Amino acid sequence: ASAVGAANCYLLSRLFFSELVQRKFGERMEKWNNQLQRHRENLLSYVILLRLAPFPPNWFVNMCAPHLNVPLWPEFFIGTLVGVAAPSVVHVQTGMLLENLVEEHSSGVSIFSLKNVAMLLAVAVLATLPVAIRWALARHEAKKVGINVDALDQGEEDEESRSISEA
């Protein structure tokens, strides 16, 4: 239901509210678009992790994604479906635990059970797995053609530290 609702919001924003979204959220969208550009190759994984994290708010993602060229299918819809499903299961389990707590007046019920935390971590690891595989394959290919990948990694770190210090 969350994925369908988010997709409806995405479509409404794209079809009817383009100017309003640009006017109200233009600056925030620019910042987010910079992040999106760095993750274009791994957009599905990025959307899943975005949905698992509590920021930015889901309504912002739903409204702005169509204006930043995030495809509805499969990246936005599947990423939302997977990224929202895991926390939803935890929320349902939490609700059931709270119901048991009220009914039985028991104590010692933990929302942050090993099972719940492990499930969320497993989804996060699975979402980042394609990114790690692509990174490893790119390094392997670079070594094959004689590119010093350690120097490349150092150059990226230097570039990131320069951009952070400039901000």
Q: Residue 99: its pLDDT value, please?
A: 79
Tens of pLDDT, residue by residue over 86-129, are 888 888 888 888 777 666 655 555 667 788 788 888 888 988 99
Q: How far is residue 51's CA from residue 28's CA, in Å, rounded to a whole number?
A: 18
Answer whether 0.85 is exceeded by the pTM: no
**Among residues of the chain, what percentage have pLDDT more than 70?**
83
> How confident is the prediction for the chain on average, in pLDDT?
84
